[in-house]
Amino acid sequence: MSDAKSYVKKIQEQLHEKDPNQKEFLQAIDEFLPTMVPFLEKHPEFEEANLLALVSEPERLIQFRVPWQDDKGNWQVNRGYRIQFNSALGPYKGGLRFHPSVNLSILKFLAFEQIFKNSLTGLPIGGGKGGSDFDPKGKSDSEIMRFCQSFMTELARHIGPDLDVPAGDIGVGGREIGYLYGTYKRLKQYDAGVLTGKPLGFWGSKVRTEATGYGAVYFVKHLLNDLKDDFNGKKVIVSGSGNVAIYAVEKLQELGANVVTVSDSNGFIYDETGIDVSLLKEIKEVKRQRLTAYAEQKESAQYFAGQSVWDFDTSADLAFPCATQNEIDLEQAKLLVKNGVKVVSEGANMPSTLEAAEYFIENGVLYCPGKAANAGGVTVSALEMSQNSQRLQWESEEVDQKLDDIMKNIYEACRDTAKEYGEENNFVLGANIAGFEKVAKAMLAQGLV
């Protein structure tokens, strides 16, 4: 076993020993660390500085209680978190997630991935993540407002436009960001750049809502261009029906693909004529209804209750998992390969298990990992920070063009780095090494603080 392999294995073992119950974080570690071996063999100075151990520990973990009052006057309490993982390249940057599944392990995995995703954008932002186990579903606007006000009352002391700039994530959209921002402003001062994903009326960025979904499609657009191919006539399976999925569907269909599925936590829709984006937006963004409402209004749509879209046995060319972590397991990956899927682009964070991702790569699927393919959201968040600093709001066309250009740069960095290390089309290895190298050099130059 080479020195680099032994070193990586030792770091892995130490992290498994320290955090044995943090399965999502350890999954992210186990996906990332082995891909560092060829890089460390070429650059032993990073091993000598013990960079992998340093980058795998968060700079700061913040946990706090969030008391709030429901509409009946009863007091409730949730846990709030902020993981400030790495600031070598700039202020901590990453979303806030409000979902009952939120815990330290999930947020550490998300923040760890965010370090390298943010590095790949080429923009001056570090990695962080946060949120709460609060569930916005079924809550009134007033309850959500009171929760957000309580959450920000504590979080405000730990963030700032040059320190840590949160954004939205699952369960945190424009409404929640508005409530959070109003509380920050009341406690501190008017700092438009302290949160991104703001409504356009107070210095949000155009195209921010669409950015993650569009970005996942732009990544594949540049990949297909390399193959002298395009989206025309491609049949696509998409999971999810939130922001990322909706705008991935919109851009895919705009570029000529036929998207036949979307899903939510209760089941999925199959619409062989193609998903009606206008109807989907009305149901999910305006009326906040479940997908059963789509099936009721669209004759060609079939609704499959309680089932995963990844168990659906239908041929397809491309797959865009845009729901949540670990939604595709090994058996589902095998089904996708059997059904002819040639490209998987992750709009969600780590939606494929480690075994599923390895199966895709081994079987020639062009697998585009979340830390690269879904970097569009944080890209436009960072562009929102730039606009806030300039006291300007750019037009949609300008933001969209910058997003497309940055996704092209990310794709080419993944492609070229994979090729440099003898693993052509292994975009996981390419993304990990390209993302890590920039962070590692900055850490080394700054004295490993």
Give every CB contact of residue 345 below 8 A, 6+ residues apart in sequence: 216, 217, 219, 220, 318, 319, 320, 368, 373
Q: Active-site residue among 129, 198, 221, 251?
A: 129
Q: Output b/e per residue, 262-299; b: 16+ Cβ within 10 A.
A: bbbeebbbbbeebbbbeebbebbeeeeebbebbbeebe
Token pair listed for 330 = 């090994």
Contact between 393 and 213 under an 8 Å Cβ cutoff? The reply is no
Indicate the burial class of 364 (C-beta count within 10 angstroms; 0-12, 13-18, 19 or more): exposed
Token pair listed for 9 = 């294995």
Give every CB contact of residue 354 below 8 A, 6+ residues apart in sequence: 27, 30, 31
Closest of 219, 207, 147, 235 to residue 382, by C-alpha: 207
Give every CB contact of residue 137 below 8 A, 6+ residues apart in sequence: none
Q: How many CB atoms lie within 10 A of CB 136?
A: 20
Beta strands 343-345 and 366-368: pairing type? parallel
Residue identified by tokens 């570690």 is: 29
Which amino acid makes up residue 181?
Y
9 is catalytic: no
Q: Output b/e per residue, 146-174; b: 16+ Cβ within 10 A.
A: bbbbbbbbbbbebbeeeebbbbbbbbbbb
Contact between 126 and 89 under an 8 Å Cβ cutoff? The reply is yes
Token pair listed for 254 = 């705009």
Residue numbers annotated as active site? 129
